[in-house]
Amino acid sequence: MTGFFGYKEPYTGTEFYYNPEPFQGFGLANTHGLAGFSDIEAQKAGYDFPQYNTARLFLRHVFGLGGDQEDIADGPNQVAGKEDISRLTFTFGKLAIPDIFDNNSYSHDGRVGFMNWALVDSGAFNYSGDQQGYTYGTVLDLNQKDWAVRAGYFLVPDVSNGENFDTRLFVRGQYIVEVQHNYSLLGAPGVLRVTGFEEQFYAGSYAATLNNPYLINPLTDGGTPDIAATRKTRSQYGIVGNAELSVTKDLGLFARIGWWNGQSEIIYTDIDSSLSFGGVLTGTSWGRPLDKVGLATAINGISGSYQKFLSIGGLGVNIGDGALSYRPESIVETYYSVGLTENAYLTADYQFVANPAYNYVRGPVSIGSVRLHVQF
């Protein structure tokens, strides 16, 4: 359950937002066994009893640059009003990186739409966050009618899957830059985004672990390779391409392709390359304008050094079972969302996963779920 509290100063353009977020429970199989995990709402940390978390606490200031204006609808973390289309937005505080980067109209909301990590965002977008998916940072976003560019700096965890942040500013941290172009294809509007990221992160190396026999010897005693012994500040980098197209007012298509160098421990997902695409159809044609049906697929892969690390018993954050017979992980997801009202949705979702965690001796796996989302 997430609360959204916001205040917009009417004369200066300064806004303040606070999201309290208590949660409880565990991801399927303790969030282990899939690289493209089946539920974006599942935390990497689980709790038997409700656990309070401040999800977001940030300041935003909008500098209007004049010219035509557009309406900003009331919603989570935005107060209704008018803003200059040409504007510069400054954001600072605690937030989730996907709030701002790698957005997509047809696959970016795990509460109602696609659920899988590799579909809600690019699976290869190794963005920073704690075990709940939030971090601290600052962003500048320049918006124009036909294009936008945004850039940010964010804290990274102190170690892979860590809950504490490394506060050595600009010595360690993540930099993200995104360029957006609004286009038209045969009269159909669309958006193209290209996102690049680089981080300095205290991480262990797969190759360094494999090349040191003293770090592999514990395997003879039933242990796992000691990648933690190779940790030092390492550079990690990648790129994501993200496109959407409104074919009609009821049919939208999307596609993402992503890659990152994948030579050391991760921050977010155990995915080094990912291709995803799909579509969403609104139910206007069958008299259900609040309903939506979606169908999409994702194909995920990992680097050769990560494959070797897993094959000798290494463990990632969400994958690893002591061995590996490698093949790309393939996911198909479909859902039907029933709009009970404009603020309540009941969704049935099905996912089919071939070669879960890149291991063709595992699976395939079928995952069914039902979600109820209510907002007021």
Q: Quick one: pLDDT band at residue 219, thresholds 50, 70, 90?
A: low
Question: What are the tens digits of pLDDT across the range 136-170?
Answer: 999 999 999 999 999 999 999 999 988 899 999 99
- pTM (two decimals): 0.93
CA 160 to chain centroid: 16
Q: Quick one: pLDDT band at residue 222, thresholds 50, 70, 90?
A: low
Spans of all domains in the chain: 5-374
Provide the greatest CA pair distance for the chain: 69
- Cα–Cα dist 267/203, whole Å: 9
Does the pLDDT at position 45 exceed 90? Answer: no
Q: Quick one: pLDDT band at residue 297, thresholds 50, 70, 90?
A: very high
The correct CATH number of 5-374 out of 3.40.50, 3.90.1690, 3.30.70, 2.40.160 is: 2.40.160
- Residue whose pair of structure tokens reads 């940790």 in the numeric block: 231
Short-list 204, 198, 282, 279, CA closest to 240: 198
Does the pLDDT at position 223 exceed 80? Answer: no
pLDDT above 70 covers what percent of the chain?
98
3-state secondary structure of 149: strand
What confidence score (pLDDT) does residue 215 get?
75
